[in-house]
Amino acid sequence: MVKTFQFLQKIGVKRENIRFRQHLLNEMAHYACDCWDAEIFTSYGWVECVGHADRACYDLQQHMEHSKTDLQMARKLENPYTKQVLVEKFEKGLMGKELKKDCQLAIK
């Protein structure tokens, strides 16, 4: 998405006329885990110009299913390691109430 943002600016789109919008769950394609659109503000309003979809392993799964061929690959590491990862859990309802007033400022 950063590369898309940089490209759009490089071809002359002003920074303030570029935004990224995340798809709602009911807007996403069946194969996508997450999806974002790069939108450009034009005389028609905000227009989608680039779509970024996290397809995860959807394509590989489809190829394996239809070709009946295992296309997975594994590589054994000489020195496996364990990594602890912190996963944040947001209380969206509370955040929405707290940040709602700021959203109106961003729209103007």
Separation between Cα atoms, residue 92 and residue 68, nearest integer Å = 42
Residue 62 in contact with residue 49, Cβ under 8 Å?
no
Residue 73 in contact with residue 40, Cβ under 8 Å?
no
Residue 25 in contact with residue 41, Cβ under 8 Å?
no
Full pLDDT tens readout for the chain, 108 residues: 999 999 999 999 999 999 999 998 888 888 788 899 999 999 999 999 999 988 778 888 888 999 999 888 888 888 878 889 998 888 888 887 887 777 665 544
**Per-residue pLDDT, 108:** 47
**Per-residue pLDDT, 97:** 81
What's the predicted TM-score (pTM) here? 0.54
Q: What's the helix, strand, coil split of the chain in %, to 5? A: 35, 20, 45
Residues 6+ apart with CB under 8 A from 8: 18, 38, 40, 49
